[in-house]
Amino acid sequence: MSTPAERATRALADVARMLDVADRIVARGYDEFVGDDEIAYLATKALLIDLQTACGAFDEEFRAARPRVPWRELKRIRDRLAHHYVSIDKDLLWNVLVRELPVLRADLLAPDG
């Protein structure tokens, strides 16, 4: 059985990889994201669900040490994406990609937590 620190290390690596994928989606641009090809949009939805799932590996001590991370909001967006997928606006997801995830990266992956 792994320790909480080992689980957190693995989850942080997973989160970093997912955030790198989010950066690649953003690099393709807004027009591609909102265009007729739904691949980037659907990939973003899956990525955000997986991101929150990975964050579920963090124990309470880890979370408490990172008070700037919006833990509750991550759970809410995951639930909304998973259960109310038809009503998810592309612009909302784009804003999460370009505004919220860079902040999450800094707050979660910064060496000082």
- The one-character DSSP state at 58 is S
Single pTM value for the model: 0.88
Residue spans of the domains in the chain: they are: 4-109
pLDDT, one tens digit per residue, over 27-79 is 999 999 998 888 998 999 999 999 999 999 999 999 999 999 999 999 888 88
Pick from 101, 86, 79: which is nearest to 42 by CA? 86
- Whole-number average pLDDT of the chain: 90
Q: Rounded distance, CA 101 to CA 79, Å?
A: 17
